[in-house]
Structure 1
Amino acid sequence: MSIGILLPGQADFVAWRQQARRLLAAAVPPEQVEWRVVGDPPGLFGGAPLPAEAAPVTASVPRAFLDQAEVAIRHRDPERFALLYRILWRIVRGEHGLMQVATDADIVRLQAMTKAVRRDAHKMHAFLRFRGIEMPARSVEGEAGSPEAAGPDSPGERYVAWFEPDHHILEAETGFFIRRFAALRWSILTPEASAHWDGETLRMGAGGSRAEAPSEDAHEELWRAYYRSIFNPARMKPAAMRAEMPVKYWKNLPEARDIPRLMAEAPQRVAEMVARGATPAAERRQRFVQPAAPPAVAEGMPADLFSQIDDPATAMAALRAEMTARPDLPEWTRAATQMVFGEGPIGAPLLFVGEQPGDEEDLAGRPFVGPAGRMFDRAATEAGIDRPAAYVTNAVKHFKFKPTGRRRLHESPNAGDITWYRPFLKREIELVAPRLVVSLGATALRALTGKPLAITKVRGELIETADGLRVFPTVHPSYLLRLPDPESKEREYARFVADLRAAQREVA
């Protein structure tokens, strides 16, 4: 006789996992299990309940299986529960390397499900559009999935979106929208379920209908104007557009009504662009904030005699003046707005070395003031570091970039650039005399050690250079900005904060 398992929800991984552990404890093979969800019609054979004495068992399974199973369970295939239990059964029964067998039929199917669910989530993130509605002073009684039934909202604007996912992804993907629109009140309606966020609490509800979501709002034309302004006719590829933005989503996208006209006008616009010719690349921006002048060096004292100066602050000013006046700077530095020197107190216990100034640092003449610098400041504060008491600098002191129209694209320093600036970095560190130097990224680590080292192998470990310098390697905060999804950004940001906290403990 088969064993009937009833799950409370279509994508309840916790419940499935608990039941799977009980089945393993009772040694029930996959072919004897009938999986159903609350609300499903009874199975063909009914299925006997699992004996109460079958307590859950703890089984060791690969992390790769758990990660994929948690995603694949959101797939719409009614056989997904049975597939996951069958794979689990095989792993526990001795096929420990099953997840690495790319040709196995069950693994192929699991990976296809996982890929489909993730693609559906990506489409939801990209093509869900909120529209504003005015909520009355006291919400009226409404249908279970409607915005009015989301709870007793205060008066004001609420944002509502309609989406038709291919799989059971709504509840799992609400975290993305909470992080992105945490301060707004919003509702997401789908045919099977709805999600409502009031700024503090998430409530799940029944499914809704497209008629309950507004068809347009006051911001519609502004969004369409933005889309028209970024549409590049020279790069129009209709097949790729339809592949990335399937027609099924067009009815819910405000910009979709402009796409046919933009596509029709594209050939003429391209011809006009060719006739106008290329826009000359701007070597540098003309307006920038002039940095404060460095402390004056004693009159008549050559900068290259800095090693003979007893006062570290005066010696630091001399070093800065020397670098500014060098006639042999790398050729590419002529395009930079200015040199960006280090900043912070002499004697700082922690000294942080980054790669090179970015666009905002180049204009301001100060290090760590751009997006990566702001992320570093936030992480340092969370790690308990007194940010103003730390010294920050870069291995390379000028912004290396490639001009493209009105933008300046960052270019990584090469080995020759790092070597040229290295003696000056070494003198700068000697004058600050920190108890620990934290290298942010591979360029900084190479400048400090004189050799290329993989951050992944030495991250978080104390390294002592040939000069006796104590170096603590970690990633550059710009790495966190380049991560593709919010989950990995949160995970790696927490790890970065932990690295900074460990560095702080070294000097505490």
Structure 2
Amino acid sequence: MKTARNLANVKLGTYYVVQMPTPDDFDFWRERARALVQCEVPPDRVAWVEPGGSGDLFAHGERRSPVPDPDAKPVRANRRFVSLARNAILHSDPERFALLYRLLWRLQANPRMMEDKADPDVRRVEELDKNVRRDSHKMHAFVRFRLVESEKDGETQEHYVAWFEPDHHIVRANAGFFMRRFSNMQWSILTPRGSLHWDGEIMREGPPAERSDAPQGDPMEDLWRSYYASIFNPARLKIGAMLKEMPKKYWKNMPEAALIPELVAGAQGREAKMVEKGALEFEERPETLAAIDKAIHGCRKCPIGQLDNHAVMGEGPQDAALMIVGEQPGDQEDQVGRPFVGPAGQLLDRHLEKAGIERKAAYVTNAVKHFKYVQRGKRRLHQSPGAKEIDTCRWWIESERAIVQPKLVLAMGASAARGMLGKTVSISKVRGAPIELDDGSELWVTAHPSYLLRLDGAAREEQARLFDADLAAVKERLEELAG
């Protein structure tokens, strides 16, 4: 039962004003929210005010929190709510306190509400949580300390200072991360939302700062820029993804960011040179298929080649007009030492026969020469090769193509297409039409037979129809090229 005072307040429509002492004080919010819920004060009768916020709009609100009866029901809040609330309260959205109280209020009647992904309040608090975690990640990644030296008692003192501009109230929450990571340094992190100062023993909080309070550079930055330039890989550059992960607002605080425009501008040329060289430090290209076969068995240029497996060489006529390229050997191919002998190979044989293409007349190989897998007990489970692994193996597939000199190359699957083109393409967008290669031959792209094996029902029938159509087009083009 409520006290008479609390009951009267609810009936008369009295609302309560909660003035937050700091914008990130979860414990304070939780204490006040519990008391309000226990006194059955609905969300529309509570106003939450941030530090420095104007209280004029709530001049007639009750500033004292209601006092629950000793026998008031305990407040229910599951672990998921508490976890999300701790993070969401760090967000800069001024409505976050009211949102969290509304959720807490609703949880009392529906304890499983947090499982409802369609609920707008649940979705909003998840979004706040995600934004805060992302901001914390940016702080961990993009804080750059600069050395400040000073003289004290005839000795040089070193202190490291960083400037960072968070979007949310995350500075205090991330103090422990930097204290653990840089425990042996004396440092300060200055932000517009507050400052942190660590002297090696005690962490102190300070007031908000301005960027002019932080140093603008130090001698170590030339070394850092040289390191960044040396590890920059133009073949893996994706400008959109880079800007998403490292927005330009952080660039001015990072010494290496000054190099980014120049590195991006020269990326295409550098990538072309890497592709031309196979992106590797190999010897001269092998001149025979037998030499390639011998070389790939000793290749350890990527992690796949270091697994407990065997290289699988291509097979077929050295002067074949058609070269068929798959992704990589499977478990059975690794054991037998021949390409396309497992379930995917058997399915390929049936579709080739249906299209009127003789497999024994084609040169059949894979973009990656070793079987990539993860061990699960006695089983070896297939894993798709990564872009870097495919690019590394391009040296071998290009060497095979230079020797066989096919008129037409059929790449089955995205990995095979990347092995031939040096870039990832969408199969649905490029299938059914030739792509001219640098030696004048044609590349045709289709799905990998293993993709069909993973489907069933109508989906498999549809993909099998498209696969047959691709093979029929290849057959027709081969006849045109032969004529």
> Offset at 1:51?
4.9
Unaligned runs of 5+ in 2: 1-13, 283-295, 302-306, 312-367, 381-483
Q: Which structure is larger by alpha-carbon Rg, 1 or 2?
A: 2
CA contact (8 A) 1:132 1:158 kept: yes
In 2, the alpha carbon distance for the partners of 1:55 and 1:133 equals 57
1:40 corresponds to 2:50: no
Displacement of 1:109? 1.1
Deviation at 1:277? 2.7
> Which of 2, 12, 17 does residue 4 from structure 1 map onto?
17
In 2, Cα distance between the equivalents of 1:334 and 1:31?
69
Q: Does structure 2 retain, via aligned residues, the 8 Å contact 1:223–1:255?
A: yes
User: What is the aligned partner in structure 2 of residue 170 from structure 1?
Assistant: 171
Alignment match of 2:119 (pick from 77, 98, 104): 104
2:93 alignment partner, one of 74, 77, 80: 77
CA offset at residue 90 of structure 1?
0.7
Counterpart of 1:78 in structure 2: which amino acid? P
Cα pair distance change 1:157/1:409, threshold 3 Å:
farther
Once the two structures are superposed, what CA deviation does each residue of 1:77-121 show, in whole Å capped at 9, x if it has no partner? Answer: 1111111001001111x1111101111111111111111111111
Q: Could you tell me how far apart the structure 1 residues matched to 2:164 and 2:127 are? A: 23
The counterpart of 1:125, out of the listed 122, 140, 144, is: 140
Q: Shift of residue 25 of structure 1?
A: 2.3
Q: TM-score, normalised by structure 2?
A: 0.55
Partner SS for 1:187: strand
Pick closer, same or farther for the CA change 1:123–1:334 going to 2, 3 Å. Answer: same
Where does residue 115 of structure 1 map in the other structure? 130
Work out the percentage of aligned pairs sharing the same amino acid: 47
Q: Which whole-Å CA distance do the structure 2 matches of 1:27 and 1:258 have between them?
A: 59
128-137 or 4-13, which deviates more:
128-137
Q: In structure 1, how many angstroms separate the alpha carbons of the residues matched to 2:202 and 2:66?
A: 36
TM-score (norm 1): 0.52
For 1:233, the equivalent position in structure 2 comes to: 234
Runs of 4+ that moved beyond 4 A: 280-285, 408-412, 414-418
SS at match of 1:132: strand
1:234–1:270 Cα contact (<8 Å) kept: yes
Matches within 5 A, 1:321-400: 332=308
Superposed displacement of residue 166, structure 1: 0.6
Q: 1:40-84 deviations in whole A, cap 9, x for unaligned?
A: 221412221235644796422110000000000001111111110
Asked if structure 2 preserves the Cα contact closer than 8 Å seen for 1:36 and 1:43, the reply is no
Query: Structure 1 residues 333 and 238 mapped into 2: Cα distance closer, same or farther (>3 Å)?
Result: closer
Aligned to 1:62: 78
C-alpha change, 1:272 and 1:283, in structure 2 (3 Å) is closer
Residues 200-250 of structure 1, C-alpha deviations (whole Å, 9 max, x = no match): 211111000111111111210111111111100111111111111111111
1:135-187: CA deviations, max 9, x gaps?
A: 4428xxxxxxxxxxxxxxx9521111111111101000111111211111111
Instruction: Tell me, in whole angstroms, the C-alpha distance in 1 between the residues paired with 2:63 and 2:371.
Output: 63
CA deviation string 1:370-395 (max 9, x = no partner): xxxxxxxxxxxxxxxxxxxxxxxxxx
2:149 matched to 1:134? yes
Aligned-partner SS, 1:129: coil
Q: SS of 1:44's equivalent?
A: helix
**Stretches of structure 1 lacking an aligned partner (at least 5 in a row):** 139-153, 286-330, 336-403, 419-508
Provide closer, same or farther for how the CA distance between residues 414 and 8 of structure 1 changes in structure 2, counting only shifts above 3 A.
closer
Query: CA contact under 8 A between 2:20 and 2:29: conserved in structure 1?
Result: yes
Contact in 2 for aligned 1:34/1:43 (Cα 8 Å): no
Give distance in 2, aligned partners of 1:30 and 1:51: 14
CA distance in 1, matches of 2:371, 2:216: 39
Q: CA contact under 8 A between 1:165 and 1:190: conserved in structure 2?
A: yes
**Alignment partners' CA distance in 1, 2:308 and 2:202:** 53
Corresponding letter in the other structure for 1:44: L
Q: Distance in 2 between matches of 1:267 and 1:415?
A: 44
Counterpart of 1:254 in structure 2 is 255
SS at match of 1:189: strand
> What SS does the corresponding residue of 1:31 show, helix, strand or coil?
helix
Which residue of structure 1 aligns with residue 36 of structure 2?
A: 23
SS in 1 for 2:178: helix
- Once the two structures are superposed, the pairs formed by residues 195-274 of structure 1 within 5 Å of their partners are 195-274=196-275
8 Å CA contact 1:22, 1:55 repeated in 2: no
The one-letter code matched in structure 1 to 2:256 is E
- Separation in 2, partners of 1:24, 1:244: 40
Q: CA RMSD in A?
A: 2.9
SS of the residue 2:58 aligns to: coil
Pairs aligned (count): 287
- Equivalent residue number for residue 467 of structure 1: none
CA displacement 1:448-470 (0-9 Å, x = unmatched) = xxxxxxxxxxxxxxxxxxxxxxx
